Amino acid sequence: MHARFDELRTRLAEIHDLAKAAEILRWDEQVMMPPRGAAARAEQLATLNRVTHDRFTSPEIGRLLDDLAPFEEQHDFDSFEASLIRVTRRDWEKERKVPSDLRASMSRTATLGYATWVEARRTDDFSRFLPALREALELKRQYVACFDGDYDEPYDALLDDYEPGMKTAEVRETFEYLKEHQAPLVKEVVSHAGTPDQPTREFPVERQKEFELDVVRRFGFDPDSWRLDPTVHPFERNGSLQDIRITTRYFPTNLDGLFATMHEFGHGLYEHQVDPQLERTPLASGVSLAMHESQSRMWENLVGRSLPFWRFAFPRLAQLFPDAVAGEDAESWYREVNAVEPSLIRVEADEATYNLHIILRFELEQELLAGSFPLEQLQEEWDRRMWEYLGIEVPDAARGVLQDMHWSIGAVGYFSTYALGNLISAQIWAKVTDDLPDLDDRFEQGEFGALAAWLRENVHRHGRKFTPLETLERATGATRIDPEPYVRYLRRKLGDIYGLPVVGSR
């Protein structure tokens, strides 16, 4: 067994190296590459993806997995070897159904589509983006066709790429619960408090950068292993567990970029704290996008929008931006950064309205895949639903249908994991605060290491050794993604801020 396992691991390490090389090229594409490099970069990434795909889906990998099947059956998944065999088998069986040329075309189209999206968003011209979107969707339909009969409905094949084992019907049911319980909460808050005033302020960008680095270094950002750079749309990528690259964007009149930086830090910390023994294997990453989003949303909201955090951080904020926050204190600033106001932009949405942005995209993606309406009508459909779900008129495409990069790179099936991550974050937080009852006191002192250590021990170090639900159960005892704790958390928090009645969420 050992010789065959060692051979499998050697092959997988080479494949992992190729995939990480592509990661760094994609980071460069979105952070540093000059615009005219897009065409050549598209071919470079297409080649890398084709070679990686061919190596991974080779018959020899299949023969090694067959030879190792008895070991997998005889051991539980606490075993590194058994987990590696199980995860590789699952990935191999799905990926081998996808032709190499299709995988390369999807990669090439993603690079070119992203460049097109950047320009369409800059010029506020949805029609400019239409051809790239049409090609990306057609390739996604070809991809779904590779799994004919394997899933209950076509969208399952895409969702499964990001949230293994999750079914569209499960997400739909969860989102119906959120529409039933979260949407009325938003209306209740807005009705009770009205639309908050947003004073005009100036936050010089260089001081923002200084403040953000102060914050994330407290969280665990180490410049020897991490980078923080500006980009059009914030994201995290990594070249290894010790090469974590997060990005953000800055606005001179607000601190929305701070929360984007916290968000991407949460993604980076998850990757950074995977057990080093899993490096250069398929296990060396977060287990799913929903679990990943639970980490990013936790640091952004449950930490970064908490009163204990701002009791620590506000004095430094006031020192750097005395004019902008004149007359404020930690408590008033806490209320301001948690103000509920339906807004245009998903990544800048408050906690109460954020999931409604995701539900809109989740529903639209299924209709796009099915061709339920002409693609030319997408902007109109987007604007109609923004009014239906959030009561907002969309003034232009850049702040509407063109605001997210995901469809430009073919990432259809991704969006629902943001909302699922919110729900998981509340489930994990309940366990964290039980185990670390003095967490608020630690935050007020600027000490976040205990939280990072708890997450490393209970979530991060496992990487992909276990399924998403197995990972959730090990961390919290829960056997499913449950929306109720998140709604309960929101009602309690907003009830305290706005003086709402405390009632059960069911």
Distance between CA atoms of residues 101 and 259, nearest Å: 39
What value, to the nearest 5°, has the Cα angle with vertex 227 and ends 221 and 233? Answer: 110
Distance between CA atoms of residues 241 and 202, nearest Å: 37
**301 and 324 in contact (C-beta within 8 Å)?**
no
Q: Give 229's strand partners.
A: 247
Q: Tokens for 305, please give them.
A: 């929008």
For residue 298, which of 405, 467, 448 has the smallest C-alpha distance?
448
What value, to the nearest 5°, has the Cα angle with vertex 418 and ends 414 and 421? Answer: 125
With 0-12 / 13-18 / 19 or more C-beta atoms within 10 angstroms meaning exposed / middle / buried, residue 304 is buried
Secondary structure (3-state) at 483: coil
E strand or H helix at 243, and its extent?
strand 243-248
For residue 249, which of 238, 261, 240, 237 has the smallest C-alpha distance?
261
Catalytic hit among 72, 212, 236, 264: 264
Centroid of chain to Cα 216: 18
Centroid of chain to Cα 404: 12
What angle do helix axes 80-95 and 38-56 make, rounded to 10 degrees?
120
Q: Tokens for 431, please give them.
A: 């366990």
264 tagged catalytic: yes
* Sole residue written with tokens 């094949």: 157
For residue 405, which of 143, 129, 156 has the smallest C-alpha distance?
129
Active site (catalytic) residues: 264
